[in-house]
């Protein structure tokens, strides 16, 4: 199923305001002409019905036309202000969503960082079963970071690479825990340490960026 485009998904009221704003000159001309014709016809029939007030009927039509034009211009100006306010609110909401997404990304970086540090401690203690469980949780967070739309592209790529390496190591850890055999975790620990440094730098950079843009 295809997603609707940005214009198609807008509320009818916003679309109507945009249409009036784009064709405000033509709308003003047509509305003024119709209102003027109406008042002129009113003055004409008023003149037919009252010869004594014939001139007054024509003057009334002209003044009515001028007042209608001024009133319609004021109305269009109010509509323009409303459309600008609606657009400003939309931009503000979009920026807020982006900031919230960036903040969530930084929080996920710190969560993955804590999980990887705990996993490294368990690996050094050769607690393979607990280490596998801790790495499994950290891998899920790393995968979410790798497919996020926020953060640095190289950091997301690194998170994806570490996530894949953890997935490859989990069966070996589980086998070592079941068979009570030794497991060489030096290479895995080194990879986790590098990823921890990347996550720390990423989180600090994002937090500083959010602080500077307050």
Sign for the CA dihedral angle at 108, 110, 113, 119 comes to: negative
Confidence of residue 52 (pLDDT cuts 50, 70, 90): very low
- Rounded CA gap, 30 and 34, in Å? 6
| Confidence at residue 7, expressed as pLDDT on a 0 to 100 scale | 46
Domains and CATH numbers, the chain: 12-92 (no CATH), 99-212 (1.20.120)
How many alpha carbons lie under 13 Å from residue 158 in its C-beta half-sphere? 19
The first and second tokens of residue 74, run together, are 């004021």
Mean pLDDT of 50-60: 51
Q: Which of 39-48, 104-113, 154-163 has the lowest mean pLDDT?
A: 39-48
For 11-48, the pLDDT digits (tens) are 555 455 555 555 555 555 556 666 666 656 555 555 55
Tell me the pLDDT of the chain averaged across its residues. Answer: 76
| Confidence at residue 194, expressed as pLDDT on a 0 to 100 scale | 94
For 166-211, the pLDDT digits (tens) are 999 999 888 888 877 777 888 899 999 999 999 999 888 887 777 7
- Rounded CA gap, 196 and 115, in Å? 9
pTM > 0.85: no
- Rounded CA gap, 26 and 30, in Å? 6
């Amino acid at each position: 199923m295809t997603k609707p485009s940005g214009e198609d998904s807008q509320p009818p009221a916003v679309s109507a305001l945009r249409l009036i704003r784009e064709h405000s000159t033509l709308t003003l001309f047509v509305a003024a002409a119709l209102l003027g014709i109406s008042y002129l016809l009113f003055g004409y029939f008023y003149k037919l019905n009252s010869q004594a007030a014939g001139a007054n009927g024509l003057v009334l039509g002209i003044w009515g036309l001028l007042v209608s034009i001024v009133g319609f211009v004021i109305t269009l100006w109010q509509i323009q202000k409303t459309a600008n306010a609606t657009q400003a609110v939309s931009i503000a909401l979009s920026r807020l969503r982006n900031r919230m997404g960036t903040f969530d990304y930084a929080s996920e970086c710190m969560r993955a960082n804590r999980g990887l540090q705990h996993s490294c401690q368990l690996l050094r203690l050769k607690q393979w079963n607990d280490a596998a469980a801790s790495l499994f949780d950290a891998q899920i967070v790393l995968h979410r970071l790798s497919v996020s739309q926020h953060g640095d592209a190289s950091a997301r790529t690194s998170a994806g690479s570490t996530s894949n390496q953890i997935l490859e190591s989990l069966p070996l850890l589980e086998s070592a825990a079941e068979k009570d055999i030794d497991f060489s975790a030096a290479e895995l620990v080194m990879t986790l340490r590098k990823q921890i440094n990347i996550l720390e730098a990423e989180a600090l950079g994002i937090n500083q960026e959010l602080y500077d843009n307050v």
